[in-house]
A and B are shown apart, each in its own frame.
Chain A
Amino acid sequence: MKVHEFERLVTKLQLKVRDSRDRIAWFEYDGRVITRTKRSHGKGFDLPAHLIRKQLKVSGKEMAGLIQCSLTFDDYVNILRAKKLL
């Protein structure tokens, strides 16, 4: 996963971010913190997509959908709801 793809997730899922040593992103819904992920600030290498998607609780297909715009914020909420995380 490239940095700009991670940033697309941040925007689409309205993740709250905090830049410290890493860029830490939290997904909040109804005032509760549901999932979290992070990416390092280092450049020149791909981010571990399979580990990021596990943190965001989505499958590989769903992750691809979130990056490629076929899945929306509401779809993500429904995915989490189906997994009883909300």
Chain B
Amino acid sequence: MTAMALSPLLRGYIETTEKKIGSNVVQELTVPCISNFLSQKAEIQHSLSSMPLEKRLKTVSDVGKVWDEMLADGRLNDLRESLYRSTGYSLQMIDLELSLVRSALNGDHIRRNIETALPCNIKCLESFVDFGDGEETRCLPAGPVFIISSGNSLIPPLIPTTISLVTGNLTLLRPSLSNYAGVYAIYKIIDGLGTEEADLLARALAISYFSHDSPAFPYLLSEAPLGVINFWGGEPARTEISKYVHKNPFHPRFYINGPLTGFAIIDEGSASESAAMALAKNIVLYDQQLCSSPTQAAFVGSMEGASEFAKKVCASLSSVGQSIPMKTTEGSAYVLESARRFLRFKGSTVFQSNDPSNAWTVVLSKGKSPLDDVISALPEFNIYNRRRFIEISVISNYEDAVDLIKALPSRRAYRGIDKVQSVGLAVGETARKSLLECLAAAGVFRILPLEDMFMRSAAEPYDGIGIPSMFTYFVYAREKPILG
């Protein structure tokens, strides 16, 4: 395979060093170049945050519009192939992902997200806003913002980066290697829009890959005049990066979005075919690599009911999984089959597909899950390698489901995961109401219908916090003395 050159995206002075990382040739921005970019902080952030918010949102929407045109006329075909190779997802999955870019860049959605994250009128992003009694507030960029984004899909880097730009921040994005080409192609569009607003947004953005041993990392994390660092990912990078950040004399805010997973709860009364299809759909999308993807399920009811439901899930997986074939390798097939046998011989009921392009597995277990023992013997069968694999634990009451959620982070089978992010529910209304507080107390971030637990409302916070509030701060002004 020919080496793929990954160039940085930056307006103005560019200086790079070249590195070979696997099959990729990477041109990283040098420290002087980054320093030069950051030196424009005051000017660019002032200009951006003075620009009407609607113009910023329109520019972002325009990027999405052009993207859709490029997608429609085949200009993204090479990128499609490249992402197929670099991410390990199937072409059908890549197609789905590329088609979702426009929604991620939808100005209306971004506005709604900002509205729900900020405690006052979003006009405060342009100027002081009176909120009564002569009290005013102005929301300003807390940046420069440095985002180290995750690698599980193309869309996640777009959200914080776009919100950072729209809230007026000088923004430096370091995408993952696997999605670099996609992220680059999206933001490159800004360059060609030809408006004054687009020009300013383009000047506010730098994208570059930095390898783990790049001198840019110690500079950016420990020395650079940053306002916010936002890291998306898990260990060991998270701890290493934290050590650097603590040395930074500018004390940037440091936000970590760690590895999370999804959990499904189904009760016997709701175990319909549509619930089974909902679970199957969430399992197949991104092969469970999303933080919302259900990787474990609890069935509240009888073993017989669970078995019936499992069969429905199997049928749904067969149909929905066919439309998004998965990639399997000799090694992954071996580990999967060994794990299935291990579980079966340990007493679990295992339903499986032998179709390598849709190799789903549904495991029914009662009592202590043997999955942790499997991981001890087959450490390769970790959560990152389990694809289209769900263990349904049969339990007798809803409290047990909450206990399973609480116990999940300490289980060997979920090593590397901080906790459960999303809980998809297919339960009766009374059960749902009683579960809400218990699940919230268990630390989950999202409680959703099982049907679309992968969907994110524009109004939702991210892992417990609104991104716009991560990247901004408030200036308060009062006209009159309080004791007046």
Tell whether A and B belong to one assembly: no
